[in-house]
């Protein structure tokens, strides 16, 4: 066995730092090459500068967040390093954590910088050599390992860990370089799309709702045949360009995959059935027939939205004058309001990339390539993405750790 095996990690984000720390702790000579002059830029801007570094969800519930295929692939990594273990890792490194709404875990200090500083401290203490300003340009397989090309010259290693991220937020350094490296070493890269991004909606009635935030509504994406692909009951924000907030952003990957045929459906009263809504309108008409319909709609909805719903359903009248077809239309507008959405705002605004290095070519127990022994692929570069809520860091840390333990 080689005791002085050299491990080269490309990309000092969440996954690369975690891989490097674990490799170095095992006594590997570990170098971490980062194209930026600073490591971990995406960690710093994550969670609005607060870094939602994981979730309270565990087990099958956690795996299900990534979808069945991706969740199955991640099972080993997530079970080997579940959220409580990740929390213990950071707590031991001096980052106190707390749970917030929607099962999210943040640093008590509310500072993403503390998460990055802890990782950099652990890397330094383990003996990781971080080389900043070292963009890898090319990777090659050699008889006994790998050779990577950087503007500073070639660097050889026995093991190579690719942790270069995806295509989202390219200003942080993630410009998709890793896809080319993986392809050049024999891997397939599945099509990539922006995910966790605001949705671009052109319908004027929706844009007119700019500034409204809904916390109790549900939003879903339907395919061209009207089949529901995903539904989220999370906050929705109406913006000057369309829709934002966790609910709509979670749908962006599906919207993009549908390639222009997606429809977004709102259920603005998810706890009330259509029948109950209709009975409520009838009861209101019996009691206050002269009242305008807009005032009888669920009062939890902002008035501007209620006015829009009444206009869309052509029900701008008094309760007494609301005929059965208009009443039914109004209820359908509240429970099943649809708007076409062709795309998201794209990679520049996307928190993650959907698609990446094909999962069936990676051993899920180690993250080692099945095509190219000695190569490891981790983090967002893989065809793995999760919803908003700490799931993407959780996957990056857990996959990075497995590679570090094996490389």
**Footprint of ligand FAD on this chain (CB under 6 A)?**
10-16, 33-36, 41-42, 45-47, 51-52, 135-136, 163-165, 168-169, 173-174, 177, 351-352, 379-381, 390-393, 396
B/e letters for 375-403, b = 16+ CB within 10 Å, e = fewer, are bbbbbbbbbbbbbbbbbbbbbbbbbbbbb
Query: What does DSSP say about strands 242-244 and 236-238: parallel, antiparallel, or unpaired?
Result: antiparallel
- Spatial neighbors of 42 by CB under 8 A, at least 6 apart, are 13, 14, 165, 169, 172, 173, 174
DSSP notation for 167-202? SSSGGGT-SSHHHHHHHHTT--B---EEES-PEE--
CA distances from 206 to 101, 233, 268, 297 (A): 27, 19, 14, 18
Q: Where are the alpha helices (DSSP H) in 30-82?
A: 41-45, 59-64, 68-80
CB 403 within 8 A of CB 383: no
Tokens in use for 216? 């109790």
- Beta-ladder partners of 213: 237
């Amino acid at each position: 066995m080689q005791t002085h095996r050299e491990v080269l990690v490309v990309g000092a984000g969440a996954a690369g730092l975690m891989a490097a720390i674990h490799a170095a702790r095992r006594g590997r000579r570990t170098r971490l090459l980062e194209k930026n002059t600073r490591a971990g830029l995406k960690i710093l801007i994550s969670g609005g500068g607060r870094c939602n570094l994981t979730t309270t969800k565990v087990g099958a519930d956690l795996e299900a967040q990534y979808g069945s295929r991706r969740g199955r692939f991640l099972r080993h990594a997530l079970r080997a390093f579940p959220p409580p273990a990740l929390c213990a890792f950071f707590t031991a490194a001096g980052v106190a954590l707390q749970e917030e709404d929607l099962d999210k875990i943040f640093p008590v200090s509310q500072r993403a910088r503390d998460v990055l500083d802890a990782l950099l401290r652990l890397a330094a203490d383990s003996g990781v050599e971080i080389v900043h300003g070292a963009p890898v340009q090319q990777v090659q397989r050699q008889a006994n390992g790998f050779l990577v090309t950087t503007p500073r010259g070639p660097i050889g290693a026995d093991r190579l860990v690719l942790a270069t991220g995806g295509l989202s937020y390219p200003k942080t350094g993630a410009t998709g370089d890793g896809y080319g490296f993986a392809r050049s070493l024999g891997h397939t890269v599945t099509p990539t799309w922006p995910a966790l991004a605001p949705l671009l909606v052109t319908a004027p009635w929706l844009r007119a709702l700019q500034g409204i935030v809904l916390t109790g509504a549900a939003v879903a994406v339907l395919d061209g045949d009207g089949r529901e692909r995903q539904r989220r009951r999370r906050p929705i924000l109406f913006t000057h360009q369309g829709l934002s907030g966790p609910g709509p952003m979670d749908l962006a990957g599906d919207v993009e995959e549908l390639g222009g045929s997606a429809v977004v459906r709102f259920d603005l009263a998810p706890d009330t059935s259509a029948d109950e809504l209709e009975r409520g309108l009838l009861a209101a008409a019996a009691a206050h027939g002269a009242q305008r319909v807009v005032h009888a709609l669920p009062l939890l909805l902002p008035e501007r939205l209620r006015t829009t719903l009444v206009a869309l359903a052509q029900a701008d009248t008094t309760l007494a004058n609301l005929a059965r077809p208009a009443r039914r239309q109004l209820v359908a507008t509240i429970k099943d309001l649809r708007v076409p959405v062709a795309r998201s705002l794209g990679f520049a605004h996307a928190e993650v990339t959907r698609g990446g290095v094909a999962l069936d070519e990676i051993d899920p127990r180690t993250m080692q390539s099945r095509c190219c022994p000695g190569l490891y692929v981790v983090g967002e570069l893989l065809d793995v993405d999760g919803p908003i809520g700490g799931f993407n860091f959780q996957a990056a840390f857990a996959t990075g750790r497995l590679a570090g333990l094996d490389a």
